[in-house]
Structures are given as C-alpha cells and as structure tokens.
Structure 1
C-alpha cells in the first residue's frame, strides 16, 4: 500500500511539473564578449529547463557546452550557421533529432527534440523584409508538418519582425517609423513604407500561438524586447519608449498554449548591459 501511494504521489508530482523556456539574443556573445559573466549569472539564476540563444559569436560547441554546464545544463547544441551568427541551445534533458536547416536561405534554422517537445530556434534576417519572407517560406512546411502530428511544438528566437497584436503600440512609434523611412539600410524592412506585420501574421496562420501576448496583454512589459538602453542611441528610458518594440518571440502549438502559466520580458539591472535585446521567458504546465 505504501509503495502504491508513493508511486501515485510521484506520478501526480511529475504531471504537475512545469517547464521554463528562455530565448535571448545576446549581442555578439554577451555584448561582444564583455559581459559573459553577467550573462552566465543571470541565466543560472533563472533555473530554466531550456535556453535558446542567438548571436553566440566568439563561441564554439565546446566553449558553449562548458558555459551551459555552469547554469545546470548538461546537454547542449551549437549551430555555426554558414551565414549569420551562431545559434545555441541548452537543456536539462537529452537532445535528439537535431537538424540544421539552411538550404537556399541566408539564415539557417536549428530544429531539435527535447523532452517530447519539437523546438525550432531561429534568428531571421534583420536587413530586408524580402529575405525574411524567403526564410518564412522555407521553414513553414517544416512547422506545418510538426503541427499535423499534434505534438508539442515551440518556435522561438529573434524574428526581426513585428506582431499584428502590437498595432496600437506600433502606431505610437512615429520617430522609429520616420527613421526607417529615411535611412537607406533600414527602409527595405518596411512594407509599402509602413511597419510590416506580415511575417508574424503568417507564423500564427500556420497554427502557432504567440505566448507573451496571451499572458501579458495590456501590461507595460509587453511593449518591447528591443532595444535595451545598452545602445548609444538609447541613453535613457524616455528615449527608449520611442523605439521599444517586440521582435523576439516564443510561439507554440495551440494545446501547449493552453498550458501557459507564466510569461515575462524582464528588463533593468544587468539586462541593460548584457545585450541590446531583452530575454523572453515562458513557463508551461505539463
């Protein structure tokens, strides 16, 4: 009887566990390698189960594996993309079914499986909307196939794209829009001279759910994941408000989205010097 009750307790406890997931663009390897210690300490303090990092310049597979162990992750994968900066993923649990997907696109995608979840880690092109459209068209069939299997799917990273759910906030960013219209290298990111929301709309049309908006809508934290005050052009919070927008996201299948328990876009403290982006954190109940 005691053994039965113990087994029942363990089963119920495991079923009640949640998983914590972080995505973070860390600016050329934690601010060009200058703030690795702060980045490591912050990630360790989060006690996340899965961490996806973008712009891991200055690292290789071994160096990243050693770093991941300092925040308690014995399992990791480092993807040195043919074009664009490296992607990295670490986990408390074994990683399997790894694929580096990059045929015919400038910025490759990292696909892997971990604890029953299919992950796709991405960092889409920042310079041109046309390149992001090409990348979207490339990865969409893979995502659709995963969703058809009715399993758990997470797509996360730096999309360099704007959400249709942020239209009210975006309508207030007149300075940003004017800057993009008048800067030759930024103008190719616009759609008919206005902010583009088509990329994120298309991801949602595949059947994915954008998790932070689901949890945080109406809250000030939802306003943005980029830029932090690390950038020289963003010396204070007042200036930041004119440019702050969301370009980093965690998306999931619809069933997993129903199990969302927490979401955050933390700011302040060391996060203002680790990167020009802020991390995205979500928790899902199993």
Structure 2
C-alpha cells in the first residue's frame, strides 16, 4: 500500500518490536528516511520522509505519553506522529492537552495518529457489538481543537471517515479513531482527506490508514 500510494510523508504508530535498524530497513525499502521515537511503556511511533524533501529538526517525546510522539520539520511544516492512551479517558485528555500546548503555536503543524477517541462530530456507535468504553469521551479531541488545531476531516473529508475495524481488528462498532489535526495555516492548504480501503489494507492492520493531500505552501 505504501509503495502504491507513494506518499511524501508517513506517520506510523504501533511499531511494536521496532528499533532504529528495523525502521531504517523499512524506510530504505520505500526510498524514504525515518525518524523513530521509542516508547518506555507502550509502542514506538515514527515519521518517514521521501527525498528530495529534507528532514530537518527531529524530536522524540518519550515522557508524558503512554506511547510516544515523533516530530520532524520538513520545510515550513512540522509533522507529529503520535498514539494516545487507549484505556483511560483522563490520561488521554492530559496527553492531548500537553501535545497541543507543545506544538499548536509552531506555525504550520500537522499532528497525525491514533487518538483512540471519538470527536463528537459524528454520532457514537450504537449497535453494541463491542463496548467502546472510554473512547466515547470526546475531551481529548476537544483539547486539540480548543488549542486552535483543526480536525482536517471536517474541512475536506470525503467518503466514510471510519478507520476501524478492519477484517483483522477487534469487533468494534465502526468508528473514526484516527485523525489529522492541523494549525489553521495547514488547514487552509488541505485539498482532500480520505480513508484508504480494500485489498491488503483490510488485513495488514487493525486500523485503516488516512491520507491527506496538501496544496504547496
């Protein structure tokens, strides 16, 4: 899927068992360069950049988060890949508040990842196949928005925004748990946001990937 779509930037989460050598092997196979942020308690995250784009400043946030955040600067844009706490709405809210405070005032910022929360923009699942638990708490997404970040799906989402489950995922009710959140200057550049579906996507992961297309800065 990554070879077919050939994105310029990739934000990855749930990299269980990945170290810098393994992420470099993956990046090399795609013709990209990687920055990995390891996790003390959870799972690593990463950002991949395709040349001729140049990866500038790199940050690995491994504290205040159950998982981690990897941030890289590419030209005027800072891309942050993160994964919020799945089991505690309170901790997830604290993580979102802290990330928003750290990054929301840096100009062109795009925060991407598995936020493990509904936004309140779409109705909560109601079929009862699997309890959504704390994921129905919208405070984490609200914390990003209150800091001035924009849910890019609201700006240019096309088709269904549901990112879970895939055929190998837990039997959740269909939900949107994965987000692109951008500063207003990034939101103004958005052409399209969509969820990729079908083929190997349905068995490669328990989440479907999101793709965003931005106009040139």
**TM-score normalised according to structure 1 size:** 0.69
Give the alignment of 1:23-172 within 5 angstroms: 42-73=1-32, 75-92=33-50, 93-146=53-106, 151-167=107-123, 170=124
Partner of 2:189: 259
Partner-residue secondary structure (3-state), 2:199:
coil
Q: RCO higher in 1 or 2 (8 Å CA, sep ≥ 6)?
A: 1
Cα deviations by residue, 1:94-115 (Å, 9 ceiling, x for unpaired): 2222222233443332222112
Tell which structure's C-alpha radius of gyration is larger. Answer: 1
Q: Which runs of 4+ in 1 moved over 6 A?
A: none
1:271 lines up with 2:209 in the alignment: no
Distance 1:52 1:173 in 2: 30
Distance 2:64 2:101 in 1: 14
**TM-score normalised according to structure 2 size:** 0.90
Distance 2:85 2:95 in 1: 8
The structure with more helix, counted as a fraction of residues: 1
Give structure 2 stretches of 5+ with no counterpart.
Answer: none
Cα deviations by residue, 1:150-176 (Å, 9 ceiling, x for unpaired): x21100110001112113xx2x52415
Give structure 1 stretches of 5+ with no counterpart.
Answer: 1-41, 181-185, 234-239
Distance 2:104 2:153 in 1: 21
Matched residues, number = 214
Distance 1:119 1:279 in 2: 16
Partner-residue secondary structure (3-state), 2:104:
helix
Inter-CA distance 104–277: structure 2 relative to 1 (3 Å threshold): closer
Q: CA RMSD in A?
A: 1.9
Inter-CA distance 244–70: structure 2 relative to 1 (3 Å threshold): same
Partner of 2:138: 197
